[in-house]
């Protein structure tokens, strides 16, 4: 029988692509998470810990960081820790695993370059030697037929399921377990926990890296009775930070109710200081409402570790609102009319824009062409500004 933790994609030294502002916090959280993984391993009394690739985000991680990882893993001594080089940390001459810092690793931490045996199992790894390849990493390995031990394959790559992989991203044939005759295929690379079948699993990253991940933040506790037996796999949540996305579709007239409901939902989120929140507003709304709603949403920023507000709302001013904005002024009414025409034409709703406004747009493109212009957004901003300048006087 064998009992081990299957994890992967720790991505230590992670670069925050979303929530860039709190990169340092995100990196720090990963250390907290791997401490938790060590706790789980010790608590469960496993035979070994298997990290199926991408322990590090890159081969250029500082020696201090490597040292910090090693000191956490040293806590597991003498439980073996098997580390497979992935596409982020491939085994090249510049590999982190050839550096001085890693070379100080104690003996129970082993790099998986060759097959290793434990008392009941044999682990055949397919370490990666480069960042991209069209080759199936499982095609390079095979199990010795005479062994009466539990066969575990350690691979890093993308399951070749149509629509879910790139051709140069180490495609792994989905029949990998059958083909190799493996009892368990320990995969790494995908960041969400994923079960292909009884014997093929991705554990996902133990600490989430993006709002788009649906099921990350776990490790797998795997138990296999003996050769040929089906593995028993258990998900254990270890994540430190939570990435959440809340969205609401606004409708003119009922914007306020919808926003209120959203705010109530957000209010219920636990552990807000350990949560990254993205609020996505879609649909149509009045500029005055948007102006007001921003004030409410901005107030939330203090509560959360990170708040990202995505306003993808289309401005839909109501006639009465416009009257209010114009405050009986013919001048402002005219400006508003021109501006809405401009906005409509920019958003491709109506081609009816005067020569004058075409000229204006042309001037803007010419003058500010060296900036990444988004004229539709700019026009929306102009509407918002008009609302701000007039409403504030009115009230």
Partner 1 sequence: MILRKLKVSGVGVFRESLELSGFNDGINLIVGPNEIGKSTLIRALKCALFYKYSSRDREIKSLQPWGTMLAPRIEVEFEAKGALYRLEKKFLETPFSVLYKFENGKFQKFAELDRADDFVQELLLVPRRPKKETRLGIARLLWVDQGGDHLKLESLPLELEEKIRAILGSSGITEFEGRFLKKLKETYGEIFTERGRFITGQKAPDVIKLRDEIEQLRTRLNNINALIDSVEQKAERIEFERKNIEKLHRDLEERGKKIKKLREEYEIYKKLKNDFARKKETEQTLRIKFENHNKNLNRLKELRELKEKKKEKLGKLKKRLEELDKIAVEYNKKAHELKTRLEALQKEIEAKRAELEKTEKTQKAAELVDKIRALEKKISALKELEDKITRAKEALQSIKAPPEDELKKARRLNTQLITLKSKGKSAGFNFKIRALAPFKTEINKDSENIVQDILSGTEVSYDVLEKIQMKIPGLLQLEVRSKSPESRKLKESIEKAEAELKKIFEKYSCESIAELEERSREKLEKESELRSFLSNRNFLAGGEKIEDFEKRRAENEKKLEKLLEELGMEKSELKPPAAAEAIKTGLLKLKDEFEKTRVEIKKVEEFMEKTEAEKTELNKTAVRLHTELKSAESETKRILEEYGDEEKLKNAWRNSKTELEMIGEELKELETRLKKFPPDMDLTIEREEKQLQALDGDIRRRETELNRLEGSLEELLSGDLYGEKAKLSEKIRTLENLYRAKLNRSIGVYLLYSLSEAVKDRMFNTLITPIALMVRDFINRVTGRDREVELSKGLQVSSITEGGQPHNVDEYSTGTVEQLSLLVRIALGLQLANWERQLIVLDDVLAYTDSERRKRIFRILEEISEKLQVIILTAHPERYSELDYGKAFDLSVLLTASDGTGI
Site residues (vs partner 1, CB under 8 A): 13-17, 20-21, 23-24, 27, 57-65, 92-94, 96, 99-101, 327-332, 334-335, 338-339, 342, 356-357, 360, 363-364, 367-368, 371-375, 377-386, 389-390, 393
Residue of 203, 185, 155, 229 whose CA lies nearest to 40: 203
Please give the span between the terminal C-alpha atoms of the chain, in angstroms, as a whole number: 75
Q: How far is the CB of 186 from partner 1 (least distance, A)?
A: 26
Q: Which is nearer to partner 1, 264 or 366 (CB)?
A: 366
Q: What's the rounded Cα separation, in Å, for the pair 318 and 316?
A: 6
* Residues 162, 163, 164, 165, CA torsion sign: positive
Q: How far is the CB of 15 from partner 1 (least distance, A)?
A: 3
Asked if residue 349 has a cis previous peptide bond (ω within 30° of 0), the answer is no
Q: Which is nearer to partner 1, 146 or 356 (CB)?
A: 356
Q: How far is the CB of 52 from partner 1 (least distance, A)?
A: 21
| Cβ neighbours around 241 below 10 Å, total | 23
**Helical H segments across the chain, by residue range:** 23-44, 63-74, 100-103, 176-180, 255-267, 287-300, 319-326, 330-346, 355-368, 375-394
Q: How far is the CB of 327 from partner 1 (least distance, A)?
A: 6
Q: Which is nearer to partner 1, 127 or 171 (CB)?
A: 127
Asked if 299 contacts 363 with a C-beta cutoff of 8 angstroms, the reply is no
Q: What's the rounded Cα separation, in Å, for the pair 115 and 204?
A: 23
162: tokens are: 């149509």
Q: Which is nearer to partner 1, 264 or 352 (CB)?
A: 352
Q: Which residue shows structure tokens 């005479």?
A: 146
Helices (H) and strands (E) in the chain, counts: 10, 18
Q: How far is the CB of 55 from partner 1 (least distance, A)?
A: 13
Q: How far is the CB of 63 from partner 1 (least distance, A)?
A: 6
Q: Which is nearer to partner 1, 43 or 100 (CB)?
A: 100
Q: Which is nearer to partner 1, 160 or 309 (CB)?
A: 309
Q: What's the rounded Cα separation, in Å, for the pair 291 and 215?
A: 35
Q: How far is the CB of 366 from partner 1 (least distance, A)?
A: 11
Q: Which is nearer to partner 1, 95 or 121 (CB)?
A: 95
């Amino acid at each position: 029988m064998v009992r081990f933790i299957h994890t992967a994609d720790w991505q230590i030294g992670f670069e925050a692509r979303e929530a860039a502002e709190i990169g340092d916090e995100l990196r720090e959280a990963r250390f907290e998470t791997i401490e938790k993984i060590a706790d789980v391993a010790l608590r469960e009394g496993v035979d070994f810990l298997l990290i199926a690739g991408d322990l590090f985000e890159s081969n250029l991680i500082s020696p201090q960081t490597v040292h910090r990882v090693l000191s956490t893993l040293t806590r597991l001594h003498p439980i073996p820790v098997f580390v497979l080089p992935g596409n982020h940390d491939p085994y090249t001459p510049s590999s982190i695993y050839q550096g001085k810092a890693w070379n100080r690793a104690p003996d129970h931490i082993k790099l998986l370059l060759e097959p290793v045996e434990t008392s009941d199992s044999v682990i055949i790894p397919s370490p990666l030697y480069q960042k991209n390849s069209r080759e199936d990493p499982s095609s390079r390995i095979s199990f010795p037929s005479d062994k009466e031990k539990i066969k575990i394959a350690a691979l890093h790559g993308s399951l070749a399921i149509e629509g879910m992989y790139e051709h140069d991203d180490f495609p792994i044939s989905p029949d990998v377990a059958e083909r190799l005759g493996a009892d368990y295929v320990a995969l790494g690379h995908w960041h969400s926990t994923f079960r292909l079948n009884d014997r093929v699993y991705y554990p996902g990253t133990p600490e989430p890296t993006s709002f788009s991940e649906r099921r990350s933040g776990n490790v797998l506790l795997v138990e296999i009775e003996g050769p040929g037996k089906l593995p028993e796999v258990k998900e254990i949540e270890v994540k430190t930070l939570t990435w959440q996305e809340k969205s609401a579709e606004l409708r003119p007239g009922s914007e306020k109710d919808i926003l209120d409901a959203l705010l109530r939902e957000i209010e219920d989120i636990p552990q807000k200081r350990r949560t990254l929140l993205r609020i996505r507003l879609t649909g149509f709304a009045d500029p005055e409402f948007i102006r007001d709603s921003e004030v409410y949403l901005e107030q939330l920023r203090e509560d959360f570790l990170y708040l990202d507000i995505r306003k993808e709302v289309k401005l839909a001013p109501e006639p009465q609102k416009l009257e209010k904005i114009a405050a009986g002024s013919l001048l402002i009414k005219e400006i508003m009319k021109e501006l809405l025409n401009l906005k409509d034409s920019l958003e491709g709703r109506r081609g009816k824009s005067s020569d004058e406004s075409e000229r204006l747009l042309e001037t803007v493109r010419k003058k500010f062409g060296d900036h990444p212009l988004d004229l539709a957004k700019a026009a929306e901003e102009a509407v918002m500004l008009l609302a701000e300048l007039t409403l504030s006087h009115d009230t």
